[in-house]
Each structure stands twice: as C-alpha cells, then as structure tokens.
Copies of this chain bind each other. A is one copy, B any other.
Amino acid sequence: MKRFGIIGFGRFGQLAARHLRDHFDVMVADPGDVSAAQGLNVATGSIEAAAAADIVMLAVPVQAMAGVIARIAPVVRPGALVLDVASVKMLPARWMAEALPPSVDIVATHPLFGPQSARNGLTGQPLVVCPVRGNRHEKVAAFGRSLGLKVSITTAEEHDREMAYVQALTHLIGRTLVNIRIPDEELKTNSYQHLLELCGLIRDDTKELFFAIQNLNPFAAEITQQFIAEANGLLAESLAAGKAA
C-alpha cells in the first residue's frame, strides 16, 4: 500500500482520511488537535513525517498553505505526488510550483463538497483537478472516479473564474442569511425554501473558508461587488417607483 500523508486534520482532512484509509497507508498531521485520528483508526505523525509519504495532501486552510509548503519542501521525496484541496486554485498552484523541488509531481484539486454535502456518500460529488507539474492528474482523476466522484479537469484560472459565482457569491449570500437568522416561516414558497436549504448547506463552514473564498480568489471581489451594487440599484429603483406612484 502506498503511504498517504494528510497534512491538516480539520473538517476536510477528517473526511478525506475516512475515505482514503481503505486504499492507502494513511498518516495524518496537524499543528492542532489530531485526537479524532484514533476513532478513524489512522496513524498520526509530525508534519515532516507525513510530508515524506508517497502522496502528500495539503488540507490546511489556504491562509496557512504557503507556510506549510515552505516547511515540507526540504523533506518531500523525489517522485512523490503533492496535491492540495483548497477552495481556490491559482494561488496554491503557484505556491506549490514555486517552492516544491522539480523532482516532485504536483496536482491542484478542489473537492466541491464537505462533510455536510457528502453526508450520504461521495457519489456524484464534484472534484476539480488542475494539472500543475507532471501528468499524474490523470491518475488522480481516475481514482476520484473510482470513488464515485464527478471529476472535471480544468485550469486553475478557469476554476477560479467559475468559483467567483459558484462559491464567492453563493457563500456571501448564504452566510449573510445565516447571520441575519432568516426564520423558517410557516407560510413559505419554493423560492424561499431554496434560501433555507442554502443556509443548511453552508451553516457549519468555517470563517477561514469564507475569508479564503472571498480574498484569495482573484475574481471574487468583482462578482460580489456587482451583486451588492445591483441589489442596491433595485432597491433605489423601487423606492423611486413608490414615490412616483
């Protein structure tokens, strides 16, 4: 069995460990709490130990990723595959390509699911795979498909352009609705039900993920600002129509 190091044992690292432990010899590492590893029956070790595996997955918050890459660069083995699972792709792909030795293959990935959306299994959940260095993105894609995932291969830039809508805008709306506590009204429409279900899907996501999606996707700010400007414009137009009536 190939050794698989998971660095970062938060919500996604734990989900990954649960699905990978039957296929690999998994070791998890995290600067914080790794006590959940016992329940999952996977080994724990230092970040350096996990980084010396055949395949290394970076599952730390994007905000911490450049630091972790610098830390593992001296210890990753020639021929190893390093992949990340961050929600933005242009920055992590550049960080990995710039800092990791040329003897290492690199694939940037984005699993568009988490513990909440995959609570009933992985089947049909989307996985984006972006080639960075070498051609092992094909193996990653094939393995994802073998788990039932719906795999798309694309560039980091195209990914980030689409995610400005799919993630930055969606998480802005969803987190705002969660924060203002929209009520589950007795009188409701199908339209409102969509907002309630959006809240349910993103309610447990971390603030770190929200900030990463908004700040570290170079196309996010333009789309979220366009949304707010249009909403303000519509309310102003309404007000003007009300005064004219």
Chain A residues engaging chain B, CB cutoff 8 angstroms? 63, 112-113, 117, 126, 128, 152, 154, 159, 162-163, 165-167, 169-177, 179-180, 182-183, 185-192, 194-195, 197-198, 201-202, 210-211, 214-216, 221, 223-228, 230-232, 234-235, 238-239, 241-242, 245
Contact = CB atoms under 8 A, between A and B. Distances in A.
B198 A170 contact: no
Contacts of A234: 172, 175-176, 179, 210
A242 to B, nearest CB: 4
A164 to B, nearest CB: 10
Contact of A195 (B112, B117, B126, B198): B198
Classify the secondary structure of A's interface with B. Answer: helix
A167 to B, nearest CB: 7
B152 A187 contact: yes
A44 to B, nearest CB: 27
A191 B172 contact: no
A180 B93 CA distance: 30
A211 B243 CA distance: 11
Nearest to A173: B173
Nearest to A182: B165
B180 A227 contact: yes
B187 A166 contact: yes
Contact of A176 (B171, B186, B230): B230
Contact of A187 (B159, B182, B183, B192): B159
Nearest to A207: B241
Given A214-B235, A230-B176, A239-B215, A186 B162 contact: yes
